[in-house]
Structure 1
């Protein structure tokens, strides 16, 4: 069977529109992490409605994040054996069922179990989205839209959910998630049926070594450790500098919009400029924005640092994911990146908290954050494949 015929067969003899596939990738990837993107609003509601302790709330979010990451392990087995469209359909149905049941439970243990199931299904969908984007013609553009979709849903959720919670309680969030998933479920048929055939993967780009893959995975891990460590405590940095909670909140809300702009820029640029140049510029600005927070930053410097940090973080992420896609179009590396992202998000705040406690200042955190950011740049540049210019 030729590569061309495999491509046709993978779409069941139909010419799947790249736009339809893009819509499937972006919309599914936007819905899945909604709980984590709107965590502040949901945490406040869990405290007031369910009267949960901070530890219980923390455990609930850790369960969601952990389950999304753990979805990587079964995916190592089923990605090669199952039709991705059927897998997406099955994961979508499980996601809907878990969210509908989450509306009805009154027991914390039952809620914990249901949120685990919902996040496991969501993580499986996220792996299909990441892997489908890796096999697209322009991964950096697709990943830019992937990040932008999540940020837009997060921003909308944070503005809308508190009002809904006043009238309908936490059930409103779970019902919306189930309804959106049911609405978008027909798009599952636009995913590829499987990864590109080995012959096609060779045609799409040169083979990579395991070392390059390992460097790429370490690059994304260090990137997430740095950004999650800094972003978790950025409000505390502002408070110590004498910036009011109101001003800090306004700045961080605007920073979310800057994040959407950053992801949008990465998507618009796509493959138009050399990725190596964009990585160096993006990482350099991100490290610079971290160092701007040193000392007791006045309001203007704090605002500039926060806005630049969020813009560069969301600008770099699609480029990093596109670098991993260059190394492996089969989806295996993107599956591994799903686990690494969760690990980085968990490790960053844990290290940051200890650095702050042991030094009683934010300087070690900020200096360390800038160094880890530059370490991530070095790893991503080292993993880059020397591609042969295409006609």
Structure 2
């Protein structure tokens, strides 16, 4: 009797090599967005682009990631993931190297589109690979921890690189990063263990399965609308409370560092508590930290809120991705996780901006808490797709009958 695809590929999908390759590749997707605040200024100061043109270039990087994730649904069940990752990374390397020599707006726009679509494709392959792990919460947590560490390194190096080589140096750094993370791509699984065996038609989408996944993806979008809407304005909230720029910058750096602890949290828990409960608890605590930072908040409370927020944001993200991966019985929809996150990242700051009045940022806290509350309800709906509570349904990505 032929073994199921899941059993045939279990060792491959859970190997340390597959986890390491997926975690490294996971960091390439948002790499350009990490340094975007610095790049936007250099677009204007060095290349002479207008503020509007600089904003359009920044939006192309974000949009490319979003589109690449949507396109992932087309190839995730048919195309070899290693090939998809290599094609994406090749596009990222080429786009960034071409951007390093571009000085005209239209050419730069095309280069950034190529680079972001390539990085987004590799990011989608990494997401699909990590979703295959039997402990996806641990896999995504490690991927997010690596991504956060890389963010800290890239941000620390960016100012010096810009001073040394200008904006071309940043794009060369991004090209080098894409080349480095391509080295272990051969360890990725070739395709999903959930895919139907060769010669058998793929199963039709089951509405009973699709509905919980959709709730999880929409919940992810609203969660990111809440956390990004708050994060983008956290520095302004600190300033409005009367704290110095130096202290605020230090606190934000510690908040970013706390994200590493949030990423390794699922590995430390090792399945204890399942995949649904830790996410719900983290969202409740995030709502509390957001509301604690309302108004003229004292420095200790501001610092504690920011640092706890940084850890819980990453911690919850790992469990949300794991929940969607476990609900996605056919390996079709987990690749949309980056698209949901990206959509939320666009919605949250825009919604907060519409409600800000002068130097008062209370509306930012309230709209962020509201987004988080609705996401909590949607994740409650999504977790019903796990079935009755149990060690398999709540804490693993094992195949379900």
Please, what TM-score do these two structures have when normalized by structure 2?
Answer: 0.88
**2:95 touches 2:114 (CA, 8 Å); kept in 1?**
yes
**1:99 touches 1:174 (CA, 8 Å); kept in 2?**
yes
- Deviation (angstroms), 1:28: 1.2
CA distance change for structure 1 residues 17 and 222 in 2, over 3 Å: closer, same or farther?
A: closer
- Deviation (angstroms), 1:87: 1.5
Q: Distance in 1 between matches of 2:176 and 2:364?
A: 41
- Deviation (angstroms), 1:46: 2.7
- Deviation (angstroms), 1:2: 2.4
- Deviation (angstroms), 1:199: 6.3
> 1:48 and 2:45 equivalent?
yes
Q: Distance in 1 between matches of 2:179 and 2:163?
A: 25
**2:24 touches 2:181 (CA, 8 Å); kept in 1?**
yes
- Deviation (angstroms), 1:381: 2.1
**1:266 touches 1:316 (CA, 8 Å); kept in 2?**
no
**2:276 touches 2:323 (CA, 8 Å); kept in 1?**
no
Q: Distance in 2 between matches of 1:173 and 1:236?
A: 27
> 1:374 and 2:353 equivalent?
no
Map 1:229-240; keep pairs closer than 5 Å.
229-240=229-240
* Counterpart for residue 257 of structure 1: 257
Q: Distance in 2 between matches of 1:302 and 1:252?
A: 10
Q: Distance in 2 between matches of 1:236 and 1:5?
A: 51
- Deviation (angstroms), 1:237: 1.1
- Cα-Cα RMSD: 2.5
> 1:284 and 2:281 equivalent?
no
**2:73 touches 2:333 (CA, 8 Å); kept in 1?**
no
Q: Once the two structures are superposed, what CA deviation does each residue of 1:112-132 show, in whole Å capped at 9, x if it has no partner?
A: 111111111111111111111
* Counterpart for residue 299 of structure 2: 299
CA distance change for structure 1 residues 160 and 350 in 2, over 3 Å: closer, same or farther?
A: same
Q: Distance in 2 between matches of 1:342 and 1:239?
A: 27
- Deviation (angstroms), 1:17: 6.9
Q: Distance in 1 between matches of 2:387 and 2:55?
A: 43
- Deviation (angstroms), 1:371: 2.3
Q: Distance in 1 between matches of 2:5 and 2:138?
A: 26
- Deviation (angstroms), 1:90: 1.4
Q: Once the two structures are superposed, what CA deviation does each residue of 1:166-192 show, in whole Å capped at 9, x if it has no partner?
A: 111122222222223223324222222
* Counterpart for residue 156 of structure 1: 153
Unaligned runs of 5+ in 2: 393-397
> 1:128 and 2:125 equivalent?
yes
Among 83, 86, 91, the alignment partner of 1:94 is 91
**2:261 touches 2:311 (CA, 8 Å); kept in 1?**
yes
**1:196 touches 1:329 (CA, 8 Å); kept in 2?**
no
Map 1:193-204; keep pairs closer than 5 Å.
193-198=190-195
* Counterpart for residue 395 of structure 2: none
Q: Once the two structures are superposed, what CA deviation does each residue of 1:267-325 show, in whole Å capped at 9, x if it has no partner?
A: 32231333333223211210010011112112121111111211111111001100001
Q: Distance in 2 between matches of 1:16 and 1:71?
A: 23
Q: Distance in 1 between matches of 2:113 and 2:149?
A: 24
Among 109, 112, 115, the alignment partner of 2:112 is 115
- Deviation (angstroms), 1:266: 2.6
CA distance change for structure 1 residues 134 and 6 in 2, over 3 Å: closer, same or farther?
A: closer
Q: Distance in 2 between matches of 1:148 and 1:6?
A: 27
Q: Once the two structures are superposed, what CA deviation does each residue of 1:213-247 show, in whole Å capped at 9, x if it has no partner?
A: 12111110110110111111111111111112222
CA distance change for structure 1 residues 389 and 236 in 2, over 3 Å: closer, same or farther?
A: closer
**1:75 touches 1:335 (CA, 8 Å); kept in 2?**
yes
* Counterpart for residue 175 of structure 1: 172
* Counterpart for residue 342 of structure 2: 342
Map 1:298-377; keep pairs closer than 5 Å.
298-357=298-357, 361-377=360-376
Q: Distance in 2 between matches of 1:329 and 1:154?
A: 32
CA distance change for structure 1 residues 377 and 246 in 2, over 3 Å: closer, same or farther?
A: same
* Counterpart for residue 56 of structure 2: 59
**1:352 touches 1:365 (CA, 8 Å); kept in 2?**
yes
**1:3 touches 1:197 (CA, 8 Å); kept in 2?**
no
